[in-house]
Structure 1
Amino acid sequence: MAEVKIQAESRTEFGKGAARRIRRDNKVPAVLYGHGSDPVHITLPGHDTMLALKTANALLLIEVEGGESHLALPKQVQRDPLKGFIEHVDLVIVKRGEKVQVEVAVHLEGEAVSDALVVTEHAAILVEAEATHIPTQIVVSIEGLEIGAQIHASDLTLPTGSTLAIEPDTLIVNVTAQPTAEQVDAEMNEAEAQAGVEKDEPAAEPVAAAAE
């Protein structure tokens, strides 16, 4: 994974008011921590940070004004729940050659047999990899899988240098038969009943008056 270089500024103002002022300038308040060092409070450029964090487990080279630089991974990204802009970023410092544990997305390729329903039990799995060689995804082939087939963590082919950090028997993909329309209706009715949803009775059709 290529490093993304981001220029950062030191931050000396804290609190909600200071954070709002930073965001008004299209910047993002952030903190760097790890390896026993004191937290480093910084401000990141908003647009560059947004682009960098579109990639999961982005490896960032944070260059702080004054010449100090840190290699870091995003630990927690807080976003505005309505507008989606980045409100704050926690970054964990890593070293070259260091092993880290990260969640990596599972990507399915191919198609199972017809009438099969492919259920992804885990959309991402925890792996251990060198900080500068974190895989972007774990590719899983489901081509031609029959109903009843299962793929466990131990069945995955991991990129060179990566190892599982979860139990090998963890179920990743489960191939089942597609439910019939009757089964879907029954499940919906059961769910509505449990939720206390009452269905309206169909209106009775008017009875025509008898001819005199």
Structure 2
Amino acid sequence: MAKQHDIQAEIRGTEGKGASRRLRRDGNVPAVLYGAKQDAQAIQLTHKNAMLYAAHEWFYSSIMHMQINGAVQKVLLRDIQRHPFKPTIMHLDFQRVSETEKLRLSVPLHFLNQEKSPAGKLAGVTITHELNEVDIYCLPKDIPEALEVDLSELKLNEIIHLSDVKLPEGVSIPALKLGKEHDLAIVIAKEIKEQEEIAPAADAAAVPASAVKAPAKGAAPAKGAAAKGAAPAKGAAPAKGAAPAKGAAGKK
């Protein structure tokens, strides 16, 4: 039997952006409650309670019993707005639940026995979870807290699809009615490919010019190489077309 989850709220007297800002400054979260063929109602929760509720998985996928000024209503969270960078909840949307009307909602996937599976026991194998939640359609009384996916028989190169998930009675997955292309993979077991090794010859050819060291400052030039701007060796004829050295007399 699913555990009952109780949350606290109060009727909100004023609406509008200015009123919402004042609520937040006072440590409250503005919210709205709608559905079940009734008028929408402005409500509020304390920010402290909202943060406590939001830390639990059931807050996002379970029917909750909301106590509002002494009355209790069954509700489902439909939207949560958070501050872009502060750990703050800005607004909440709740939907009233009718026991006779089916609902579409997301529930989490719980993966079991992965480490016991044949694929999980192999070295060099990675098991990826492509989905962590799935949309279902059912009456409120049939809503599961989560769908369990047993991976105890998962083998290498095997894929588990949405259609492989065992559903409780009265629960369906709407996506499966749209065709085979919507039967998404939720678990994949594949071998990790090693990176290709680069041949040593290729490494040598790829050495950048900047990596080649220049001769040390003051070092003699290599044998047979003339230093830039150096005078010709004693007794050597000047290079063809070269001007005589400064101060040198021309041969008479």
Partner of 1:189: none
Aligned residue type for 1:92: Q
Q: Which string of whole-angstrom CA distances, capped at 9 and with x for unpartnered residues, describes residues 130-161 of structure 1?
A: 32453222222333533320111121123454
- Is 1:205 the counterpart of 2:208? The answer is no
Describe the shift of the 1:202–1:108 C-alpha distance in structure 2 as closer, same or farther (beyond 3 A).
farther
CA deviations 1:72-104 (Å, max 9, x no partner) are 000000111212221100001102354322111
**What residue number does 1:61 align with?**
65
Q: Which residue of 2 aligns with 1:52?
A: 53
Residue from 77, 87, 111 that aligns with 2:90? 87
Query: Paired residue for 1:4?
Result: 5
Query: How many residues align structurally?
Result: 195
Residue 175 (1) aligns with residue 189 (2)? yes
CA distances 1:164-200 after superposition (whole Å, capped 9, x unpaired): 23217332212222132239x9xxxxxxxxxxxxxxx
Distance in 1 (CA, whole Å) between partners of 2:49 and 2:3 is 15
Which structure 2 residue ranges, 5 or more long, are not aligned? Answer: 199-207, 222-252
Residue 102 of structure 2: aligned partner: 99
Structure 1: 4+ residue segments shifted above 4 A: none
Larger % of strand: which?
1
Change in Cα spacing, 1:122 to 1:208, as seen in structure 2 (3 Å) is same
1:136 and 1:155 map into 2 onto residues whose CA distance is 19
Contact 2:142 2:169 in 1 (8 A): no
Alignment RMSD (CA, Å): 2.6
Q: Is the Cα–Cα contact under 8 Å of residues 15 and 42 in structure 2 kept in the other structure?
A: no
Using CA pairs under 8 Å that are at least 6 residues apart, name the structure with larger relative contact order, 1 or 2: 1
Shift in alpha-carbon separation, 1:144–1:175, aligned structure 2, 3 A? same
- Could you say which structure has the larger radius of gyration? 2
Q: CA–CA distance in 2 between the matches of 1:61 and 1:102?
A: 17
Q: CA deviation at 1:2?
A: 2.8
Instruction: Work out which of the residue numbers 36, 54, 74 in structure 2 matches 1:71.
Output: 74
Determine what percentage of the aligned residue pairs are the same residue: 32
Measure how far apart 1:68 and its partner are. Answer: 3.9
Q: Unmatched 5+ residue regions in structure 1? A: 186-200
> Equivalent residue of 1:145, what SS?
coil
Shift of 1:35: 1.9
Q: Secondary structure at the match of 2:22?
A: helix
1:33-53 alpha-carbon deviations (Å, 9 max, x no partner): 112211111111222222223
Report the AA paired with residue 89 of structure 2. Answer: I
State the one-letter code of the partner of 1:175.
A
Instruction: State the distance in 2 between where 1:7 and 1:137 align.
Output: 24
Which amino acid counterpart does residue 207 of structure 1 have in structure 2?
Answer: A
- Look up the equivalent residue of 2:195 and give its one-letter code: A
1:52–1:58: 8 Å Cα contact kept in structure 2? no
Residues in 2 aligned to 1:21 and 1:132: alpha-carbon distance in whole angstroms: 38
What is the rounded CA distance, in whole Å, between the counterparts of 2:154 and 2:220 in structure 1? 66
Distance apart, 1:203 and its partner CA: 3.6
Which residue in the other structure is 2:248 paired with? none
Distance 1:148 1:25 in 2: 55
Say if 1:137 and 1:179 are closer, same or farther in 2 by CA, change over 3 A: farther
* AA in 1 matched with 2:214: V
Cα distance in structure 1, aligned partners of 2:52 and 2:143: 18
Please tell me whether the aligned partners of residues 128 and 164 of structure 1 are also in contact (alpha carbons under 8 angstroms): yes
Partner residue of 1:33? 34
